[in-house]
Amino acid sequence: MKLKLPAGSFRAYLFDCDGTIVDSMPLHYIAWKKALDAWKCPFEEELFYAWGGRPVTDIIASLNQMHNLDMPVDAVAKRKESLYYELLPQLKAIPEVIEHIEAQHGLIPLAVVSGSRRKSVEGSLAALNLLDKFDTLVCAEDYTNGKPAPDCFLAAAERLGVRPEECLVFEDTDMGIESATAAGMASVRVPLPLQKS
């Protein structure tokens, strides 16, 4: 299945990482379940996908509120990330997106814009030999307001020296598409593996 890009010529491509470049969402979900088991904290798969793109610490804080728990946010976030790193050897790329990265690498600037922490993003990209394809990485530590706020995409455009309206965003979540739209950028939706026909 090829991705259908919107019409227009774009001077930069901005890619979400998890679920867009790498099919990491199932691995992240396994890591979440293991990390939260110690606290007997439920996290339904449907909610996990709905919250795709949110920073890890936001997710833990929201789960604390929902379930009236007092999980230590930073400790649980670290545990979840370390469990994810253990699963990296199983990571696979999303071929329809890699095609666009390969085609444009060296022609226009490329950035990764993620709600995950830098170490997680670098780990995922390095596992698939993709780290050197990107001019910049904008990760959870680099902005205050996460998706659907436009901050992360605007930061990437600024770093690349490209106007927001000249950027094309590749995203797999509603929250990510909303964020790109709020930034004044065109976007292309990468369907979840479940949504592929």
Annotated catalytic residues are: 16
CB 83 within 8 A of CB 108: no
Peptide bond into 148 cis (omega under 30): yes
Cα angle 124, 162, 186; round to 5: 75
CA separation for the pair 114, 131 (Å, rounded): 14
CA separation for the pair 63, 42 (Å, rounded): 8
Angle between helices 174-182 and 151-160 (to 10 degrees): 60
